[in-house]
Structure 1
Amino acid sequence: MSLTATVRWLSALQFLPSRMWSAFGTWSRRLLGRQPSTLLDAATKRHLVYEGKPVWWARWTWPLVGMDLFLCSSMAETAWNHWTWPDPAQKELAGEDAHVQPNYVLRPAWQRFALAAGQFAVGLGFASALVRLRGRAVRRVYIVPSPSHSAQVFIQTPVHGASSGIRTTLGECRLSPGRDMSEVILRLRGREGEYWMELRGARIRGQEVPLERANAEIWEAFTGKKAAAMQRWKSGPVLQG
């Protein structure tokens, strides 16, 4: 190898750790559902529209993940160290008709490894899904009006700090009814997945309001409409037989 080629190879090699770390960071952000965030200034925080408590599992994600990893690792350890079967060699020596107390031995390593790896993979997948879904529960929404452009919308989830959030515009937001009046689904144009706002016990513009009013005000803040959003949950007249 020539001196020039050696120098080029060494120059490329010195950037390898940083590239590997960058690739690992990208992979981990995708695995954990991390999203690009923007810093919120004091002026933005004066336009708080929605503040609510995410669902219980979104608030207790990390304890649940710890319990999940403990359980799946314990099951994997049990499968690897304690999964046994009757000793095949003893059965061959004793014959078919002999009645002897069976001697149990560990199963073949490939069987124990497959079961242990499967148990751990299921637990890891559940933990990853839980962490990713945690970033879909809306904690706060700020809507900053603009005289010339579409209003700016800042969304905070449990994965964001007190001064960071997702930045978008009102024109890129789409609302749809949730399971009932206590839930509203928010989708952002150009982004995969959906976000959900829990309205039970939520504060709208800093005040606790009844559930029906909270639902109506959220729809009005995003779309300027109230009644259209309530059609799904309104029942018709009761027919008399």
Structure 2
Amino acid sequence: MSTIISRLRQIQRILSASRRLPWVEVPKPGPRTTVLYQRSPPWWAKWAHAIIAVDVMLMTSIVEYTWDFGGFFRQARDDETSEKEPAETESLPLKIIGNIQEKSAAKKVFFSGFYVLSGVIFGAGILASRSRILRKVTAYKAGPRGETTLYLQTAAHPRNIGHPFPSYACSLKNGDMPSRLLVVVQGHGGWTMLVNGANVPNQNPKIGENPRHAVIRAWRDGGGWIEPSANAK
């Protein structure tokens, strides 16, 4: 139970942080803008709302069958069709549901509550994860001596919208896998770069070169700080 609570708190912190951060329009392409990283988000991030809709339907169906809210109407329908059609052998899922419906109210609360909680964690986890998956990073330099601002666009952002951060507060580090890099912003945590399949404009990776090297070069050219361990790989 403590693990579940800690997971929910972590998801809640991520979602709250994403809402609190400013969402601004990314500067249009021009001489002062440079795209440091661009990649299509994973399929589950693109279809997050559809996945969550299915998740909600499954949760409501399980709760409905557990408490047998439609039992009266099903019984009336079964009485009408029982004389017309031969009885069919119940499938295993229906037998399980039937056994659950016969349990006490406390057990029904536990069973339905478990699935609702699991569904909430699953759906919230998808929303939290997609808000930390980067699909584009754009650098904007305000004049020859001006500061550079990095615009982080996640899978949760609409087109041309992102989080702005000063470049001096951002650093590039190793991710939890070789195919991932982590953009860490002071006081705001990290965002994941999926380097496999990434498109890095103004970089010409050699044939067979690890794509993370092109991402690191673009980050370095943009004036960003790179953790030595990430630069070494």
TM-score (normalizing by structure 1)? 0.64
The alpha carbon displacement at 1:212 in A equals 4.5
Mapping 1:15-164, distance limit 5 Å: 30=15, 33-34=18-19, 35-43=21-29, 46-81=33-68, 106-146=102-142, 147-164=144-161
Letter in 1 for 2:51: L
Question: Do 2:134 and 2:152's aligned partners in 1 also have CA atoms closer than 8 Å?
Answer: yes
- 2:230 is matched with 229
CA 1:222–1:177: 2 relative to 1, 3 Å? farther
Structure 1: tracts of 5 or more residues without a match:
1-26, 83-103, 234-241
2:211 aligned with 1:214, yes or no?
A: no
How far off is 1:154 after superposition? Answer: 0.7
- Name the CA shift for 1:224/1:199 in 2 (closer, same or farther; >3 Å): same
8 Å Cα contact 1:219-1:226 kept in structure 2: no
Shift of 1:57: 2.2
Q: Quick check: 1:48–1:140 contact (8 Å CA) kept in 2?
A: yes
Question: What is the alpha-carbon root mean square deviation over aligned residues?
Answer: 3.1
1:75-105 CA-to-partner distances (Å, cap 9, x unmatched) read: 22232229xxxxxxxxxxxxxxxxxxxxx87
**Structure 2: segments with no counterpart, 5+ residues:** 1-11, 70-98
SS in 2 for 1:116: helix
For 1:42, what is the secondary structure of its paired residue? Answer: coil
Give yes or no for contact 2:171–2:225 (8 Å, CA) kept in 1. no
Q: Which region of structure 1 is more displaced relative to structure 2, 173-182 or 202-211?
A: 202-211
Partner of 1:171: 168
Q: Indicate if the aligned counterparts of 2:23 and 2:163 stay in contact, CA closer than 8 A.
A: yes
Q: Distance in 2 between matches of 1:152 and 1:31?
A: 23
CA distance in structure 1 between the aligned counterparts of 2:152 and 2:106, rounded to whole angstroms: 48
Q: What is the count of residue pairs matched by the alignment?
A: 183
Report if aligned partners of 1:33, 1:133 keep a CA contact under 8 Å in 2: no
Q: After the TM superposition, which segments of 4 or more aligned residues of structure 1 sit over 4 Å from their partners?
A: 29-33, 43-46, 224-228
SS in 1 for 2:145: coil
1 or 2 for the larger relative contact order (CA 8 Å, sep ≥6)? 2
CA distance in 1, matches of 2:15, 2:229: 36
The Cα of 1:74 is off from its aligned counterpart by 2.2
SS in 2 for 1:140: strand
* Aligned-pair CA distance for 1:31: 5.8
Q: 1:153 deviation in Å?
A: 0.7
Instruction: Report the alpha carbon displacement of residue 46 of structure 1 after superposing the two structures with TM.
Output: 4.2
SS of 1:139 mapped into structure 2: strand
Pick closer, same or farther for the CA change 1:77–1:208 going to 2, 3 Å: farther
Deviation at 1:68, TM superposition (A): 2.0
TM-score by length of 2: 0.66
What is the rounded CA distance, in whole Å, between the counterparts of 1:63 and 1:56 in structure 2? 11
| Distance (whole Å) between structure 2 residues aligned to residue 200 and residue 67 of structure 1 | 29
